[in-house]
Amino acid sequence: MDPAIALLLRGALTLLFAAAAIAKLRDRRIFHGKVLAWRLLPARLAGRVADTLPWLEAALAAGIFAGLPLAAIGAAALFAAYGLGIAINLGRGRRVIDCGCGGPPQPLSGWHLVRNIGLVVVALATALLPPTARAPTWVDAITVVAGSAAAALLYYAAHAMHALAPVHRAVAS
């Protein structure tokens, strides 16, 4: 993989995990409620998981930023676990629970499942596809910073648009 692409993927994943950790730490009580609402774990264990997840995400952000392949593999595993939880709840017909992704609240949907599968692929590519030996240049630095920022903004915009879709449908009808 081209080193600029590898750095861009690392930058985007770092921003995603850092933002997710901050959102969860900002209001721990609300995040605890979201973990409980998924009904995947007993209440006692759900509280421990809710306490641990933001710190795990922060550690993954730091590890990915540092270029540790094991952190990117951990990210892929966490995205897969989130995806499994989403699939279980969708299979139960439980769509009217917040995804817990941070940002505007939104109900679970197939979009979240597809998104997580894509994120698993990105994280695994980051971990398993070594960058080529080409030395990064100053143009690569601009590409990485701008590309990571653009990826973060596109991710947030897609998340916000998905959150507002029910409101738009209600207004349009």
Euclidean distance between CA atoms 8 and 135, whole angstroms: 15
Give me 40's structure tokens.
Answer: 């995947």
The model's pLDDT over 58-79, given as tens digits with 9 standing for 90+, comes to: 999 999 999 999 999 999 999 9
The model's pLDDT over 132-147, given as tens digits with 9 standing for 90+, comes to: 888 888 998 899 889 8
Write down the residue that tokens 């817990």 correspond to: 100
Query: Residue 133 belongs to what H/E stretch?
Result: none
**Which pTM does this prediction carry?**
0.86
